Amino acid sequence: MSQAMREIAYDLAFLRATYFDASNLASDHEAAFFIPSYDLWRSYEFFHLWFTAFIAEYMPEDHPVRQRLWSDPYNLARVNARAYIPADDDHEGWQALRDAIGDLYIVRFRYWFPGLAEHPLARTLAEEFGIVRWLDLALEDPGVPTGFSMVVLDPFGGNWTRGCLDRYTFPVPLDITAEECQASLRWIETLLEHATAAAEEIETIDQTVQVALADSDFDLAQLVGTWAYQKRWFDAANLELPERIRAFRELLRYSLTAMGQLEAERPPEELEIRDLVTAFRRFWAIWFAWFPATVAEAHGASLDPFPPAPDDTTGWSNVAETLGELPLVRFRYWFADLAAQTWEHLLARELGIAERLAAILTHRGTPILTAPDEPALLARTWHFTPSGLPPVTADEARRIFEWLERLRERIEAVLTMITLGK
């Protein structure tokens, strides 16, 4: 993947498109809990089941390819939602599928995943697969499914009506080729591969921030309403990923409800943390303040501002000499799963710190606590395994803190999207 493609595929706009498309799909499916990657996967299964029903309804039963591949479409669907898809080299099968569905792959994808279909990555991939013409037509003339209702938006066995085509009949009267039909499916699967990675990053940010808050002894009572719920956060951290996310969302939902119930009983200054964004900002302020405090203690004077200006060589030399790899060690302690995500790794490579980050991620540093009740967030010294690379230079220290700042911005943007819907 080219650098330009990477920048498009992992920008915040793509994360937003993924999140809101998955969220809308979860709502349509009346999901009790919303997990972006799971809802994308489940929706894609239904996406393919629809085509099996479409073949069963509109393709002639005596068609030789139907007899060979799809003689019992519904049984195929029960076994595997994608069982109707011909083999890559089955040219006769793809021609028959093209005659049955035409450009409906792109049309229905645009209907169910509008944010992804309209994102620049979709067009870039469409150019790569040679289907820009059909993407443009789907964006300009998406049409609607027939037989839809407030209960069933895209019924199995239904048809599709558009400005350019009243309904789809066999063979579909559009000049799309079998190769373009096959390329359309590859386009969708490539786009959803990136969307799944984006959804997993969203989930990782959501999950790791909540775990960090629970593990920090940072005003947790204000977030969850009562200290009695702290143990439930730790218990939830040991669950498998889907159950863990469900548990965290349940606890967060309780916490925000509890805050409203406690308003009349607690002073206003204790009621500032009302959502995950605010809680993370408070956490990060305390977490980040450790760095200038440590540098000031070592040199007998504070660095103002902190981080130093980009051209402050002396300031960055002091940071590198005092902190070394500790910024990455401390980030890894709370956010290891996030640091290993694709965008975060690409950014580290762009800034020239990928090798050091990878080495730090292999070993978890631990805070050296001076009292049983001292929170790790405030521990002054740490035990960790050095990367074995040459000492951190002033310029590398600057790049490490640039990486941290850009991650903070990305985390806040994702949390804002999740908790405030924007």
* Of residues 209, 186, 169, the one with CA closest to residue 122: 186
Task: Count Cβ atoms within 10 A of the Cβ of residue 349 and give its class: 0-12 exposed, 13-18 middle, 19 or more buried.
Answer: middle
pTM score, whole prediction: 0.80
309-318: per-residue pLDDT in tens? 999 999 999 9
Amino acid symbol at 222: Q
The pair of three-digit structure tokens given for residue 419, joined into one six-digit string:
């908790």
Count CA atoms within 13 Å of residue 407 on its CB side. 31
Helix (H) or strand (E) holding 184: helix 178-214
173-194: per-residue pLDDT in tens? 999 999 999 999 999 999 999 9
Spatial CB neighbours of 384, under 8 Å, sequence gap ≥ 6: 325, 326, 329, 360, 363, 364, 365, 366
216-246: per-residue pLDDT in tens? 654 444 444 333 344 454 455 455 655 655 5
321-366: per-residue pLDDT in tens? 999 999 999 999 999 999 988 889 999 999 999 999 999 999 889 9
209-218, 265-274, 384-393, range with greatest mean pLDDT = 384-393
Task: Count Cβ atoms within 10 A of the Cβ of residue 336 and give its class: 0-12 exposed, 13-18 middle, 19 or more buried.
Answer: middle
Integer distance in angstroms from the first to the last C-alpha of the chain? 29
Task: Give the pLDDT of residue 270.
Answer: 47
Beta-strand relationship, 366-368 and 160-161: unpaired
* Phi-psi map region of 388: left, alpha, beta (phi>0 left; psi -120 to 50 alpha): left
109-118: per-residue pLDDT in tens? 999 899 999 9
For residue 368, list its beta bridge partners.
381
CA distance 138 to 205: 33
Task: Give the pLDDT of residue 134.
Answer: 98
Decide if pLDDT at 255 tops 50: no
